[in-house]
């Protein structure tokens, strides 16, 4: 459990000062709690025997200072004072709980924001190994579990430990016998907690894994809803979800049942404590008045002591139950740092500054806010793309692979030139384009733009590029927001929006829609045709002033007529934009200035379309 607490502190965004202030608040609230309960016994004794006024120096001084009250009125005055103090104590206790909840919710907000930022900042290679459903689960469900099942119970348990400790000290001062009996009666509860120490984390892991699998199954079922319905496999997904839900139910019921045990056992402990104290006092011939006062304090203390100890046990159980969640958050955070370090080392090697890796990592922006919106309004200086792109002996191999995916690639792309990469599947085209996009960092070689390595400021380089894949990602939002992707609605530049629509030949499509650019395209653009989705992708690149367009088989999934329309849209940009294309349909690259044929990660032929494509066709016949 100590290891879990260390990891918890690592995950927690709060600064040490905030935690220290929380502990001081717990301490102050606990002292008020104990003092409030501690005055009840003396007040009961005072009400039973007013002679105590004269036997207690500070009471006698107060009694004489007031002067206008008789003994009975003074007892009433002391009673009213106790009531006022209890009201203050209760208010402070309530404020403490409010602060605990507010603090926990703030940590959840910060964790969600930090995790989202870390996942978005993670290198592309990380996302190729991590499923979207696990990221969604981590950001939403895990963060929520962290707050509700870990942080809040731990803070509450910490507060209760202070309260219980001071109350036990108070009871010991009042009657050491009561405390001794109480602690002895606690041993069965502690033994039970220890017996189930291994099962509690297992239940928590089962709950988390079941939720992960449910989210994954639902994503699969609805992500391919067409296939699900056509194949008729609804029952398959229903069965899988039901199976996971049953596992979730079983684990949750087991833990919830066990979680309730300490509270009921504590009630038995309390009764045992009272009965044992009374019996021992009677058998030993103790003063009945002292016994009444002691029982009064014990009864009032039990109102807070029993829930405090029960909640402390509950907090410990929840921490153990959520150890899988803590480990998951801790692992993701450390893994993301590891990937950032590896990418920084790779970039440092490219720039010839391996010895500066540590400082480079520290200098890497954690915030994404430096990537200002490319809307022409709030961007202080739009990136310029004047110059040629040079790849110098670029090589890359995937982790665990024996052969290079691309090897010693060198080429030069002039400003406004259109080039194309062709080759068989697995020849290295996509890997090469991913390197050009800055998504993969080569193990050797460099990419320069306008004479400078793009790895000196990879974010600036990526802002110059517009990427149009075979399947354009569209949000379940309007055409306007999909074109101005990532720009707040109130900052969208309307002039640039319509210029991009016109350049992508979307004018007629938009004008025929009932709500124009405010028409919702549905999830992943399901309400649009394939060609319309691709042209929205082109318009998006143009809106964001992308001077370099990268088309990754952008027309491969289109029919011949639609492909012709999209190709015409792309051709119209030749000379204005630098265009890099991956193509399987060779008819779409006839207009390119240069074509590169790749095989086994290397360029085996380059030149004009006729020199490469026609020569390749002749050599195969």
Instruction: Tell me the C-alpha distance between 416 and 244, whole Å.
Output: 55
Instruction: Give the model's pLDDT for residue 372.
Output: 44
Q: What is the pLDDT of residues 222-254, one digit of tens each?
A: 877 767 877 788 888 888 899 989 998 998 898
Q: Which residue has the higher pLDDT, 152 or 361?
A: 152
State the CB neighbour count (10 A cutoff) for residue 267.
13
Q: Tell me if 483 sits within 8 A of 536, measured CB to CB.
A: yes
What are the backbone dihedrals phi and psi of residue 422, each rounded to the nearest 5 degrees, phi first? -130, 165
Average pLDDT, the chain: 78
Instruction: Give the model's pLDDT for residue 410.
Output: 92
Beta bridge partners of 420: 581, 595
Question: What's the pLDDT band for 361 if we cut at 50, 70, 90?
Answer: very low
User: In this model, does residue 314 exceed pLDDT 60?
Assistant: yes
Place of tokens 């639609």: 562
The order of strands in the sheet holding 465-469 is: 465-469, 548-552, 578-582, 418-422, 594-599, 602-607
Place of tokens 């609805």: 222
Lowest mean pLDDT among 13-17, 52-56, 373-377: 373-377
End-to-end CA distance of the chain: give it in Å, rounded: 71
Instruction: Give the model's pLDDT for residue 242.
Output: 92
> Taking residues 80-94, what's their average pLDDT?
86
> Taking residues 602-607, what's their average pLDDT?
89
User: In this model, does residue 316 exceed pLDDT 70?
Assistant: yes
- pLDDT more than 70, % of the chain: 85
Angle among Cα 511, 513, 515 to the nearest 5 degrees reads 100
Q: Tell me if 504 sits within 8 A of 569, measured CB to CB.
A: yes
Place of tokens 């195969």: 620
User: In this model, does residue 578 exceed pLDDT 60?
Assistant: yes
Instruction: Tell me the C-alpha distance between 137 and 112, whole Å.
Output: 11
Question: What's the pLDDT band for 357 if we cut at 50, 70, 90?
Answer: very low
Instruction: Give the model's pLDDT for residue 395.
Output: 92
Question: What's the pLDDT band for 86 if we cut at 50, 70, 90?
Answer: confident
Angle among Cα 577, 580, 582 to the nearest 5 degrees reads 145
Structural tokens at position 322: 């959520």
Q: What is the pLDDT of residues 107-147, one digit of tens each?
A: 888 888 888 888 887 778 778 777 777 788 777 777 777 77
CB contact set of 573 (below 8 Å; sequence gap of 6+): 503, 542, 549, 579
> Taking residues 82-103, what's their average pLDDT?
85
Structural tokens at position 167: 């109350």
Instruction: Tell me the C-alpha distance between 141 and 8, whole Å.
Output: 17
Q: What is the pLDDT of residues 377-432, one digit of tens each?
A: 343 334 455 678 999 999 999 887 888 899 999 999 988 888 999 888 888 888 99
User: In this model, does residue 346 exceed pLDDT 80?
Assistant: no
Q: Which residue has the higher pLDDT, 286 or 95?
A: 95
Instruction: Give me the count of residues in the chain.
Output: 621
Structural tokens at position 352: 């010839």
Lowest mean pLDDT among 181-185, 453-457, 599-603, 608-612: 181-185
Question: What would the CATH number be for the domain defined by 2-14+108-335?
Answer: 1.20.1560.10
> Taking residues 276-282, what's their average pLDDT?
73
Q: Tell me if 42 sits within 8 A of 58, measured CB to CB.
A: no
* Total-model pTM: 0.64
SS3 335: helix
User: In this model, does residue 558 exceed pLDDT 70?
Assistant: no
User: In this model, does residue 208 exceed pLDDT 50?
Assistant: yes
User: In this model, does residue 366 exceed pLDDT 60?
Assistant: no
| Domain boundaries along the sequence of the chain | 2-14+108-335
User: In this model, does residue 460 exceed pLDDT 50?
Assistant: yes
User: In this model, does residue 21 exceed pLDDT 70?
Assistant: yes
> Taking residues 369-382, what's their average pLDDT?
41
């Amino acid at each position: 459990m100590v290891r879990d607490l260390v990891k918890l502190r690592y995950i927690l965004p709060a600064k040490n000062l905030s935690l220290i202030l929380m502990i001081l608040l717990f301490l102050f609230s606990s002292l008020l709690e104990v003092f409030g309960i501690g005055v009840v016994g003396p007040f009961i004794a005072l009400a039973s025997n007013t002679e105590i006024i004269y036997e207690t120096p500070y009471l006698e001084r107060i009694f004489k200072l007031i002067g206008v009250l008789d003994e009975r009125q003074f007892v009433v005055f002391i009673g009213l004072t106790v009531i006022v103090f209890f009201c203050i104590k209760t208010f402070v206790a309530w404020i403490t709980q409010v602060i605990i909840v507010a603090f926990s919710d703030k940590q959840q907000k910060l964790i969600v924001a930090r995790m989202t930022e870390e996942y978005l900042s993670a290198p592309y290679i990380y996302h190729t190994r991590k499923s979207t459903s696990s990221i969604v689960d981590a950001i939403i469900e895990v963060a929520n579990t962290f707050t509700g099942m870990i942080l809040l119970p731990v803070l509450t348990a910490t507060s209760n430990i202070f309260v219980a400790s001071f109350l036990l000290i108070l009871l010991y001062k009042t009657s050491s016998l009561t405390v001794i009996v109480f602690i002895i009666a606690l041993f069965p509860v502690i033994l039970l907690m220890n017996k189930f120490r291994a099962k509690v984390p297992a239940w928590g892991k089962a709950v988390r894994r079941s939720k992960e699998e449910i989210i994954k199954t639902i994503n699969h079922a609805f992500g391919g809803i067409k296939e699900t319905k056509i194949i008729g496999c609804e029952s398959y997904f229903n069965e899988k979800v039901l199976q996971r839900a049953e596992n979730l139910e079983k684990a949750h019921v087991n833990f919830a049942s066990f979680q309730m045990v300490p509270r009921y056992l504590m009630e038995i402990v309390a009764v045992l404590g009272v009965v044992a104290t009374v019996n021992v006092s009677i058998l030993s011939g103790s003063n009945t008045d002292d016994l009444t006062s002691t029982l009064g304090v014990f009864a009032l203390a039990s109102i807070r002591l029993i829930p405090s100890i029960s909640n402390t046990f509950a907090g410990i159980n929840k921490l153990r139950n959520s150890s899988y969640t803590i480990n998951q958050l801790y692992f993701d955070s450390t893994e993301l740092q590891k990937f950032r370090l590896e990418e920084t080392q790779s970039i440092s090697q490219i720039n010839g500054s391996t010895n500066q890796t540590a400082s480079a990592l520290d200098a890497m922006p954690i915030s994404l806010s430096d990537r200002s919106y490319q809307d022409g309004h709030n961007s202080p200086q739009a990136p310029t793309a004047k110059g040629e792109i040079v790849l110098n002996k670029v090589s890359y191999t995937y982790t665990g692979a024996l052969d290079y995916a691309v090897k010693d690639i060198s080429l030069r792309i002039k400003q406004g030139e259109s080039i194309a990469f062709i080759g068989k599947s697995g020849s290295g085209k996509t890997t090469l384009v991913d390197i050009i996009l800055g998504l993969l960092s080569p193990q050797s070689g460099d990419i320069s733009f306008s004479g400078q390595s793009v790895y000196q400021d990879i974010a600036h380089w990526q802002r110059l590029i517009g990427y149009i894949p075979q399947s354009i990602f569209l949000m379940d939002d309007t055409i306007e927001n999909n074109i101005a992707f990532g720009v707040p609605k109130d900052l969208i530049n309307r002039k640039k929006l319509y210029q991009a629509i016109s350049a992508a030949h979307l004018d007629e499509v938009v004008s025929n829609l009932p709500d124009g650019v405010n028409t919702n395209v549905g999830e992943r653009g399901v309400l649009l045709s394939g060609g319309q989705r691709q042209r929205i992708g082109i318009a998006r690149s143009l809106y964001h002033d992308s001077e370099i367009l990268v088309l990754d088989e952008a027309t491969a999934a289109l029919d011949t007529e639609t492909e012709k329309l999209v190709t015409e849209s792309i051709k119209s940009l030749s000379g204005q934009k630098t265009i890099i294309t991956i193509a399987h349909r060779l008819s779409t690259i006839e207009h390119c200035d240069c074509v590169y044929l790749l095989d086994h990660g290397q360029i085996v032929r380059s030149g004009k379309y006729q020199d490469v494509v026609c020569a390749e066709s002749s050599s195969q016949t």
